[in-house]
Amino acid sequence: MKKIVSKIKNKISSIIFKPKTLEQIFEQHYKTFLKTGKTPPEGYNTLLGLYCESNGKFNEKINKEIKIKNPPNKIIAPLEGIIGNFNSKEYETINETLNKNGYVFFDKKLTQETLTELTAFALKTPTKTAPLYDQAIIYNPAHPVSEIYRFDMQDLINNESIQNLIMDPALINVARNYLGCEPIFDFPAMWWSTAFLKEASSEAAQLYHFDLDRIKWLKIFIYVNDVTPLNGPHCYIRGSHLPDAKPQDIINRGYARIPDADLLKHYKKEDFMEVCAPAGTVFAGDTKCFHKGTPLKKGDRLVLEFEYTSSMFGANYPKLKIKNSSKVFKQFCLTNKSYASNFEFDV
Ligand SMILES: [Fe+2]
């Protein structure tokens, strides 16, 4: 009898104290996020763990739920945007390319006027440099002192040219289609890369890696100056964003920087893409793809990047504080509340 009681006790305790699965832990944190708008730090680690464990399938599963709760607005095409004037069929083709390859390139370039404005801003606005990012330095092309100079998001969001680009309807449509829901503008980023180190820098993301800030996102890259094999072209491995497309032994390393040689064992050479393109080139990419910037041999590279997301679950960045806003931008944000939900207006 004693034995039977002890067996039952053990059984009950194993039911009560059964450790939670990673998915159950995620659900708990996701609920907290939905209530508070903040992701508990452990929740973010759980997402990363589940992404690696499921080889990407978990993120797709959660994004399906987001799509149902927050379906995309109908696209009223054609809409004139910086990347062109597309009809619904063309938007579909763009989306098919993104889904298949992880990246898509647009023929239409940014205007010279916008490039000049962005360059002028980038030559007079303080940046933070690797490795400490503690001092504000204005980039001097004649005397680089770091391999990377990053601009503060808060400075970028208050720039009128950048605000104009954030309102671009064609870019929003590309994100809307890819995410399958109403996109949220997550953040702008801009940085100078230089030939200061002349070797691959982890700080400057010059070794292959995948990003995982959110559940699903899309990045828009804009080359502000010409990018050639000499000044650090963006590289990515075509199709490596897809679920099950990453070698399990590599994804098991988690959020790591991966040497090229390890990836060359798994992917075809023709899927290693290098993006050399003239100033003004715009492309969209799902940076779940393995990607990197090539170390520079000469000169510098100025890139502007936007991130659109289906949900703010993930990294807790500070809200983007708008102190200077054009009337048009303010009105745009008022009429596109969900897209602008990561902005905080001071004016
Ligand atoms: Fe990255």
Question: What is the number of structural domains in the chain?
Answer: 1
The model's confidence at residue 45, banded by pLDDT at 50, 70 and 90, is very high
How close is the Cα of 291 to the center of ligand 1, in Å? Answer: 6
| Amino acid in the structure at residue 100 | K
DSSP string, 37-78: S---HHHHHHHHHHHHHHTTHHHHHHHHHHHHHSPPPPP---
Ligand 1 midpoint to CA 204 (Å): 9
Domain that holds residue 338: 2-345
Ligand 1 centroid – CA 209 distance (Å): 6
CA–centroid distance, residue 287 to ligand 1 (Å): 6
The pairing of strands 282-285 and 320-322 is unpaired
45 with 234: CB under 8 angstroms? no
Rounded distance from Cα 102 to ligand 1 centre (Å): 14
What is the rounded CA–CA span in Å between residue 318 and residue 258? 29
CA of 322 to the centre of ligand 1 (A): 26
How remote is the CA of residue 257 from the centroid of ligand 1, in Å?
Answer: 10
**Is residue 8 very low, low, confident or very high in pLDDT (cuts 50, 70, 90)?**
low
Question: Which of 178, 181, 220, 167 has its CA nearest to residue 335?
Answer: 167
| 6 Cα to the center of ligand 1, angstroms | 54
- Structure tokens belonging to residue 3: 């034995």
The CA 116 to ligand 1 mean position distance, Å, reads: 26
Distance 334 CA to ligand 1 centre (A): 31
Q: Looking at residue 188, what is its pLDDT?
A: 98
In this predicted structure, what is the pLDDT of residue 73?
87
Partners of residue 101 on adjacent β-strands:
none
The CATH number assigned to the domain holding 283 equals 2.60.120.620
pLDDT in tens, 137-185: 999 999 999 999 999 999 999 999 999 999 999 999 999 999 999 999 9
pLDDT given at position 131: 80
Residue 127 CA, ligand 1 centroid: distance in Å: 19
Query: How many angstroms is it from 19 CA to the middle of ligand 1?
Result: 34
CA of 205 to the centre of ligand 1 (A): 6
- Helices 41-54 and 22-36 sit at what angle, rounded to 10 degrees? 140
Minimal CA–CA distance to 126: which of 141, 137, 111?
Answer: 137
Identify residues whose C-beta is under 5 A from ligand 1, the ion.
Answer: 205, 211
Report CA(269)–ligand 1 centroid distance (Å): 21
| Pairwise CA distance, residues 311 & 62, whole Å | 10
- Which residue, among 137, 185, 192, 130, has the nearest Cα to 157 in the 3D structure? 185
Could you count the other beta carbons within 10 Å of the beta carbon of residue 345?
Answer: 14
Confidence (pTM): 0.91
Query: Judging by DSSP bridges, how do beta strands 217-223 and 343-345 pair with one another?
Result: unpaired
> Does the pLDDT value for residue 314 go beyond 80?
yes
User: What percent of the chain clears pLDDT 70, i.e. is strictly above it?
Assistant: 91
* Angle between the N-to-C axes of helices 88-101 and 169-179, in degrees from 0 to 180, rounded to the nearest 10: 50
Task: Tell me, in angstroms, the distance from the centre of ligand 1 to residue 306's CA.
Answer: 12
| Average of per-residue pLDDT values in the chain | 92
Q: Give the pLDDT confidence of 200-219 residue by residue, as tens digits.
A: 666 656 889 999 989 999 99
Rg (CA), the chain: 22
Distance in Å, CA 259 to ligand 1 centroid: 14
Closest CA to 49 of 20, 23, 19: 23
* Ligand 1 centroid distance, CA of 9 (Å): 51
What is the 266 CA–ligand 1 centroid distance (Å)?
A: 20
Tokens of 166: 């954030």
Tell me the pairing of strands 127-129 and 136-137: antiparallel
pLDDT at 200: 64
Helix, strand, coil shares of the chain, percent, nearest 5, are 35, 20, 45
